[in-house]
Structure 1
Amino acid sequence: MRYQNILRRSVIFTVVMSVFSGIVITPLLSVVHADDYSTALSTTPQGIKLTNVFTPASFSGNSAQVVAATNPNVTNTDVVRVTSGQANQMGAIWATDNNLFDLTKSATVSMWLNFGNQGKNAADGMALVFKNDDKGADSIGQSGQALGVWGTDAHTSKASDVSAKAIQNSWAIEFDPYLNTANDATKGAASFDLNNGLSGAHIASNYPGNSNTYRQHSSGFIFKDYWYDIEHKGIIDNLNLSNGNWHHFTLKWNATTSEMTYTFDDKDPNTSAALTGQSQTIVLDKTQFKTTTNQIRWGFTGATGLLFENGLVVFEQVPGLVNATASATIKNDTRNIAVNSGTNIYDGDQLTYTYNLNYASGKQNWTAIVAQMQMATTGIDYKSGTITYANGGSENVDLSSIKNGEFSQKLKNDLSTANNSATIVIKGQANNKTGTTIKVADETSDFAGSNYMVSATTPTFNILPNPNLTLAVNPSSVDVTPGNDATTTGTLTYGVAGNVVTNSQMNLKATLNGTAATIGTDVKIAWQGSATSGQFIATVPSDKLVLGNNSLVLTATDANGFSSNSVTVPIRNVGELKLTSKSDSSFKSTVLTGLSTLIQRNGDWGLSVSDTRGPGNKWQLQASATTLKTATGTQLAGGLVYVTNSNVQQNMTNAAVNIMSQTTTSTNTNTDVLSSWKSNQGILLNANASALNGNYSGKISWTLMNVPTP
């Protein structure tokens, strides 16, 4: 702020030559007015409409009014114009009777401020004022360094004379781009920034109508003169206010502790992303307002002199108008985890973005809400989106308009106490085929209605490329017989260079015959070789196998959650069909009588069939015999025959006869073939009448056959 009659601009001197006596040198003031008011309006951030929220004070020459933003990229945005980048302006604009500030309720006020692009030549500034004077919406203080809110130090010996000219019963935050540090009454009213240790443009606060705010200075002995500075509280110093940018400002009132916290530059003007900013907290003395209702008026005042700047405000949140919140979360559906700041996710992971808008209360419904979405531009493929409302309504999100990660959609429903929430869900999939990590920045989306705006920011996270963990087994299929374990050797490798398999970090999972198997009991894993070999032996104990076909499925997951391909190992536990017979068997010694005779077996015969293939399997046993001969080659007249249990005699010499057929009824069947033969049945020796005495021998060929089940 500065005194408006003090000239601090470049002066161009023009030398005028006169034909009369002498030379006259006349200083001509040349003020180059860089009109950045229109530029500021065309670059406004997203804000809200202010219909019936503020009203200009009625004094003559008031520069303050509500104007429309001209930025084509924002919607429903009004601008409070306190001053418009011209010299010698003074403005004041105040909340209407329906929008007073309630000291009994905690509240947040957020806004964007613009002070033009005048640099160090900017003056005088503006002030955010809370007050309870008797002038209502017509209050205005003094001009110049007083910014329309403070008093004036016009050579008076009483601080109360200064404060009397200020807005009464008030507290103000000044946004002052110009230092007024004249320590001399002859310099006029230009000393309000003395003795505060200020180094440049600044923000500070105090009570304009309180005489204790003003500190007296004097000069002279007999004829004294006086001037004053203001005690600055809650200082944020050395700012670059008039740099052409919009600056975000947030004010938070804690009704319980009477603390007012203000934070400057706490949002990025380009992305709306939250920044730390600079903050100060003041404990308000509410008695200064002298209110019995706790309802006070608030608004902005401002002034320019020969030096000037914009004094523009775009509101996001006006207390009491709408109270609502927005939040943003991301869930990794593939791994069932929340994505927080710094979380690693992986190529191919399925993601759900959820934005929750919640209306808590307000004098108005939250209307004409436009979701101005800012999404990650790389690493995510967006698949679908929906919006659901508390009243049961829903609509689809049109993702076809996404460009550079941005798209907008107007919500079909307003939010109110009757319909107090909207949930925006966007489905996507991580996509990283680069071979390196993609770092996804936080992204801030705005939800701007005609009367309220709020933002929500997604966290930063990383998308790791899939290192292509591959599992191979050898053999790829296994055949075992009952009672034997099934084993196969697995090998894990990465397909992306730079990744090394660490055995101890691999988590192997298995299913056996469609059921999750317990590693260590159902399936045993034994790592082989070095700690980074990637090789293991998988063993399925015999008692875990069923007869017939088995299926072992193996999958590995590394420490980063990357999963290998699944490998299916068929295991055939086929059982065995086996014939056991004695190698030498004989018939009883018999004296030939010249008659045909059937000679019975000796007790040295043994013949059994073992079938471990399981119930329902069939087998058939056949036998054939050679001719019987002596050692000298004499052939027996006769040969081996098979006598059935119905006493039918079948010749076996060079002819296969059926000995037995059976269907297995258990998992392990052993059949003693001879047990069903009587002494005069089964295989016997038939000696014809012409047979000669001698020792004869021959060979029986047994054929045990599997009989297919139809």
Structure 2
Amino acid sequence: MKSLLIVLAVACGVGSQWVTAQAADNPDLAHAVRTAPVGLPLDKLLTTQAPQNSAELLDSPSMAKSIALITRDQPATATGQAGSVWSQDGGQDAVQAKLNLKQDKKIGLWLYFGDKGQAAADGLAFVLHNSPQQARAQSHAGQSLGVWGTDKTPLVTEPLAVAQSAIQNSWALEFDTHVNRTPLPGMHGFFDGDPTVPNGMHVDHGYPGTASSYVQLGAAQQHYYGLKPTQPRPVSNLADGRWHHLTVKWQAQESVLVYQLNDKDAAGNFQSKDDYLAGQIRVDQQQFAVNGSVPNGVFWGVTGATSTAGSENGLVVVDQLSDTPKFDKLGAVVRDVTGLHSMEEGGRLIRAGDKIDPGHRVRYTFRTRYTGKTELAGVKIDVPLPKEIKWRRARVALQMSDDLFFEESTLQGDRFQYQLQRSMTANVPHARNTLLVSIEGTVRPTSRMVRMPPVIGNFYGPDYRSPSATIPYLINGQSDLQVANLGKDEIHAVADKHALIAGRLTNGRDPLTHEEWEDSHVKVTLNNRVVGQPQVTQARQPGSQPGDFHVSIPIDSLKMGRNIVTISADDGYGNVTRRPFSVHVIKQAGQLQFTQVPKDSTFKTTQLSGSRQLIQRHLNWGLKIRDTREAGRSWKLAVRLSEPFATTAQRQLSGNLAWVQKKQTTHIKADEAFPIPASPKGQAEIDVTRSWAANEGLMLNVNNDAVAGEYAGQLTWELYDAP
């Protein structure tokens, strides 16, 4: 007997009109949208109706209107932005989402601050307010973060004037990503000038509409204002191109707001207390009062701003509200139902990493269970439809109701969307608390291995969402893997460098995708022996395809003469290249040689003292030796004074060359081949003279009877292939 019997649903539109924000000119925004966490739909929950508001609602890959873009990175436009989103106040199908100060509430948000690091500007703020402007409340750009006051002119004489330009009757928890310490009158850039404010990104809080929050600085008609810090706390880089989770808990009895920043990782897993920043703040509810009366409910929301000096992408996703309908997530599965009758139960359960062949029939099933105490009307269903499958039919089942089936003609779009006519109920006899969606289709033919990502099915309403995600699996396309040589069939190994072979891996005539390249393995054999861990790198030069690569063969692994290197590949899933290619690598004997010999070396000009002296060298003594022979060979170096030092009148210098090492001086006789210590230490090329200290190495010894003059001689450097 079936546990899920019958379904009743009414289509709310087939095929999606939702368009994920495209940002070709803003790659960070495209990245933020692409990686956005699962969140609630915001179009009935939050509003952007404030005038001159930079905020707008965007679609995420899994849900329409689930991202609030507060500010946009626009470096080419030197204008400041101020943006805000506020909880709806009910009416016209909107949700009554204001925060009731008499009741506990928990709000979970994901915040995104761009990817500019210390160059970010200016940040976001979580705000509570009871402004007379209601959902149209908003402050200014720059350091005001859309909530604090501003001092646009040096003529402002009272902090009250600054406070009056802020959102009135408000409290703000700011996440400041730009330190404002410019003490210039009228530049509104000194809010973070207090010495207790960290010299970097920080979190703080206060009452923007209160004069006591600001301090006046400067002289008459040259005023500027600072923000009095309350509890500034440094934070690590928020503008790191990642989403950061914030949990806000309102504790009504104590009038305390608790916040936890970075309490979840990117996968949504809760962190330990040592890994996130937490704070507990007592909020004075009188700050929300109008004519002395404290309201029951206040608006909550997020503001943000940029300045003329810089901009950033500031985005918000709401993932939790404590007073919204609750569901048990029963999960989602994929089954291979090839051979079963239409919508018949059963089939092979697909697990992560399993393969499904083209032509097989698959069924995606999503389930959720409502656990609330009241009837829940108008539940919507949204399931993306991957294009790799030709969708044939769907079934929606609400427990204790009638099944409803949909055929191929209603599954032509990229999403399956419906809205229930019957309400969901729980905790009552014959409850309609379990909802199921099954969608079937046939895997389309493909000539390549396809990685199928998780599909997130959504059961949602104006202020809630119950998502279920399938596991990732593979479509087992029979790829035609081919590898080609992009270089010469025969190459000569440069003496002390690796041999470099260029190749290209393709699927038939089609280039690989980046994902296919990551899954692939290039295999190398050298002289019929498999290379265990070949040195393979992806080619990065202009015009390269994802499957272009370089194989580096270390010179030490080659034998003298001809070597045969064979290149093949597989796609990581059992498909291998049909025909490998081979390259002949010719290794030639290396050489021992001078690569630099000093031509006009000199000693420093010295005044004779009548005593024996050692004269130091100038810096023009560069001597380099290159040894590209096989490992283990050695050499020796010697220097000879082949022509003695003499003037142009053929008067010889009274003196000789000397070798100085560790304060020991050795005099070098004329025409003597003196051995010069040198230690190659396995290096292919060494600079011999560079290692000599100024008062060591070759020096010129002059005797006490030396006569002043300009002397020249000739040195001969000798290099021996000897042990």
Q: TM-score if structure 1 supplies the norm length? A: 0.43
Question: Which structure is larger by alpha-carbon Rg, 1 or 2?
Answer: 1
Q: Which has the higher contact order (CA 8 A, sep 6+)?
A: 2
